[in-house]
Amino acid sequence: MSRTDEVHRITENVYKSIMEQFNPCLRNFIAMGKSYEKALTSVTFAAKGYFDALVRMGEMASESQGSKDLGES
């Protein structure tokens, strides 16, 4: 076996060892990222609903008799 083949084999073993050690952490990190994305999507949906409700309340308030009376005075 030549020196370059031996270095190549050692390098491959080191990379395999690193992947075996960090692969579970990497999977966990990816799963947490997906959970974060789902949570962010839910929060965005809830915020849009809240904003739409505030807009509707504002429109209803501006059309009320009390706001018309305030506008005249």
pLDDT of residue 4: 84
pLDDT of residue 20: 79
The beta strand positions in the chain, using DSSP E, are none
**Ramachandran category for residue 2: left, alpha or beta (phi over 0 → left; psi -120 to 50 → alpha):** beta
Q: Collect the ranges in the chain with pLDDT lower than 70.
A: 1, 67, 70-73
pLDDT of residue 42: 95
Number of H helices, E strands in the chain: 2, 0
Residue 33: give the domain boundaries.
Answer: 3-72
pLDDT of residue 45: 96
Structural domain count of the chain: 1
Please give the structure tokens belonging to residue 29. 């990190």
